[in-house]
């Protein structure tokens, strides 16, 4: 009985198969996934189980789930008539004010909470309590104090997002290495120099994580506030169209929110990359 | 209080230094260093060796001013401006968010030198330690040995009266460590050629071989509380290269110091055995 010699296989890079080079892989696959979903959705909503009542007995019920083409049509209508613009502007305004206030107030509070131990000890229970309270539970109180205009929404947005910034910044300051502080003072660095050369570089990645989270939570705050008490805004637009079974327009609202979320996320990523040059690329 | 010796040529003079710690957990006081006297002459290379926990790292921190002594005084020769000493720390002591050039010129920037000038003054030192061409890299892009070279350049950059080195090669592998020892001596001579006066070095290690190879004097400390047991002059010719480690004189020094430290370790071991019963 002879045993065949085991075949030798090459473990080097494959030469025979040429791969198509995709210039922007991230974008390519993101778009591919999204388009795939739309195609499946459209197909499913057109697939009628009972052809006598089109759109009612589909694999996906159009009246509940709409369809990409219907959403597109409704979108063109509302954008060309201009009906949707006031909703977008007011929501953007609420988001922007709330987010900016959260960032500035949150970063400064987080830095001082991290740096001053006594301040941290004194405020820790309050911060924890507010952090774990669902923001919506505070809305009736906010409306009583600030009315139902822009102010109350901005306050809610701030409350929804500021703790992400505060807590991340604080953890960042606390993660400053003792050794780096020792080195700085061994070279005679002043307090300001220590903050600039050690505390901030350590903390910035944490701050940006907080800011990224805050951007999303601010958007949640906007929609929650507009669901509660509003006559304008994307949240109001979604709620109203949901109540009138106008599902295509509900989806328009959702697409707006999702698109905005992606846009802001990418913006923060750009800023993060700018500050990340010193880290090995695995962290990027 | 003590009568000062010829202080002109002294770079460092420590008198009756005592250091006590309060352990925050157990609320117990322990003495890290007990009545330590040490004089280091200008331009001398002095190494402190001792078993771990003998207070040798504490002593450099006292010299650097990172800690202050419970008793006694430490006089450090001051230079005209800025800080008079600089420290080379153990591994990973570079700021990871700064390029090598910004790390090396850090001390100068802290002393108020403009960034541009600091960079200009840092460049010759980066070349001296053999990192020419790496000045715009980040620390993570360098090997451990190269990082310690940068660390050394950073300390030399402030032109210190005393160069303090706290186990700078402890985290390196054996071969890199030997290379770095020889390099340190080369850089020490190179800095002399560049800056005029010979640098005073206070070096901390627990490696006897390293201590003998590098130093003019090896100071052996006892186990806690740290006291000076012996102050041994190393009369090996300079410039030294790694071959000197094979000579009988070198081995003799090593043996002598090892005996001293072994006696400490034995004493500590029997003490432990005694207290158990």
| Complex confidence, ipTM | 0.81
Contact by Cβ (8 Å): B206, B50: yes
Residue of B nearest to A196 (CA): B110
- Closest approach of A194 to chain B, Cα-based (Å): 9
pTM comes to 0.77
In a domain, A23, yes or no: no
On whether any CB of chain B is under 8 Å from the CB of A198, the answer is yes
> In 3D, which of A18, A102, A83 has the Cα closest to residue A253?
A83
Contact by Cβ (8 Å): B209, B245: yes
Neighbours of B256 (CB within 10 A): 15
- Closest approach of B154 to chain A, Cα-based (Å): 10
Omega before B16 cis (within 30°)? no
On whether any CB of chain B is under 8 Å from the CB of A183, the answer is yes
Please give the tally of structural domains in chain A.
1
- Closest approach of B50 to chain A, Cα-based (Å): 23
In a domain, A130, yes or no: yes
The CA distance from A120 to A108, in Å, is 13
Residue A171 sits in a domain of what CATH number?
A: 1.10.3720.10
Model pLDDT for residues B208-254, shown as the tens digit of each residue: 999 999 999 999 998 878 888 889 999 998 888 888 999 999 999 99
Most confident of A186-190, A232-236, B196-200: A232-236
Which of A178, A183, A186 should we substitute to test contact with B (largest number of B Cβ atoms within 10 Å)?
A: A186
DSSP β-bridge partners for residue B219: B48, B231
Buried b (16+ CB within 10 A) or exposed e, B196-217: eeebbbbbbbbbbbbbbbbbbb
CB contact under 8 A, A279 and B83: no
Which of A187, A208, A277, A279 should we substitute to test contact with B (largest number of B Cβ atoms within 10 Å)?
A: A187
Most confident of A98-102, A136-140, B130-134: A98-102
The CA distance from B100 to B151, in Å, is 9
In a domain, A41, yes or no: no
Model pLDDT for residues B108-134, shown as the tens digit of each residue: 999 889 999 999 999 988 988 889 899
With a cut of 80, say whether residue A85 has pLDDT above it.
Answer: yes
The range of the structural domain enclosing residue A222 comes to: 88-230
In a domain, A56, yes or no: no
């Amino acid at each position: 009985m002879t045993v065949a010699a085991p075949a030798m296989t090459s473990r080097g890079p494959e030469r025979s198969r040429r791969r198509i080079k995709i210039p922007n892989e991230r974008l390519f696959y993101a778009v591919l996934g999204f388009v795939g979903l739309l195609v499946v959705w459209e197909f499913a909503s057109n697939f009628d189980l009972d052809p006598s009542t089109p759109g009612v007995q589909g694999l996906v019920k159009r009246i509940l789930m709409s369809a990409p083409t219907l959403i597109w049509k409704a979108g063109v209508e509302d954008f060309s008539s201009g009906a949707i613009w006031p909703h977008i502007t007011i929501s953007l305004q609420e988001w922007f004010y709330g987010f900016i206030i959260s960032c500035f107030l949150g970063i400064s509070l987080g830095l001082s909470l991290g740096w001053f131990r006594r301040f941290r000890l004194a405020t820790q229970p309050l911060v924890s309590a507010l952090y774990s309270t669902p923001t919506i539970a505070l809305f009736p109180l906010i409306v009583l104090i600030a009315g139902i205009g822009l102010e109350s929404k901005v306050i809610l947005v701030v409350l929804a997002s500021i703790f992400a910034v505060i807590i991340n910044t604080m953890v960042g300051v606390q993660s400053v290495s003792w050794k780096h502080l020792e080195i700085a003072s061994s070279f005679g660095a002043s307090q300001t120099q220590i903050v600039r050369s050690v505390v901030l570089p350590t903390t910035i990645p944490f701050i940006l994580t907080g800011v990224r989270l805050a951007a999303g939570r601010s958007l949640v705050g906007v929609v929650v506030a507009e669901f509660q008490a509003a006559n304008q805004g994307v949240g109001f637009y979604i709620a109203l169209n949901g109540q009138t079974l106008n599902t295509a327009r509900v989806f328009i609202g959702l697409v707006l929110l999702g698109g905005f979320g992606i846009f802001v996320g990418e913006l923060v990523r750009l800023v993060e990359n700018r500050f990340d040059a010193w880290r090995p690329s695995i962290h990027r | 209080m003590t009568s000062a010796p010829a202080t002109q040529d002294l770079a460092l003079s420590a008198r009756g230094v005592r250091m006590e710690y309060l352990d925050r957990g157990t609320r117990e006081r322990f003495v890290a260093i007990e009545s330590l006297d040490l004089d280091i002459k200008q331009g001398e290379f002095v190494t402190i060796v001792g078993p771990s926990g003998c207070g040798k790292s504490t002593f450099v921190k006292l010299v650097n001013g990172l800690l202050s002594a419970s008793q006694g005084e430490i006089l450090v020769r001051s230079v005209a401006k800025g800080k008079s000493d600089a420290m080379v720390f153990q591994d990973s002591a570079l700021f990871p968010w700064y390029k090598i050039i910004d790390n090396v010129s850090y001390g100068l920037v802290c002393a108020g030198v403009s960034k541009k000038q600091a960079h200009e003054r840092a460049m010759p030192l980066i070349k001296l330690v053999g990192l020419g061409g790496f000045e715009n890299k980040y620390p993570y892009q360098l090997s451990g040995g190269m990082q310690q070279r940068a660390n050394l350049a950073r300390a030399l950059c402030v032109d210190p009266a005393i160069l303090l080195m706290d186990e700078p090669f402890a985290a390196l592998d054996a071969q890199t460590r030997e290379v770095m020892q020889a390099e340190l001596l080369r850089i020490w001579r190179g800095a002399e050629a560049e800056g005029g006066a010979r640098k005073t070095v206070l070096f901390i290690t627990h490696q006897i071989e390293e201590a003998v190879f590098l130093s003019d004097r090896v100071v052996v400390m006892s186990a806690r509380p740290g006291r000076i047991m012996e102050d041994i002059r190393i009369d090996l010719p300079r410039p030294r290269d790694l071959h000197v480690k094979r000579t009988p004189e070198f081995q003799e020094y090593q043996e002598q110091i090892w005996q001293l430290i072994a006696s400490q370790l034995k004493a500590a071991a029997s003490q432990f055995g005694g207290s158990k019963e």
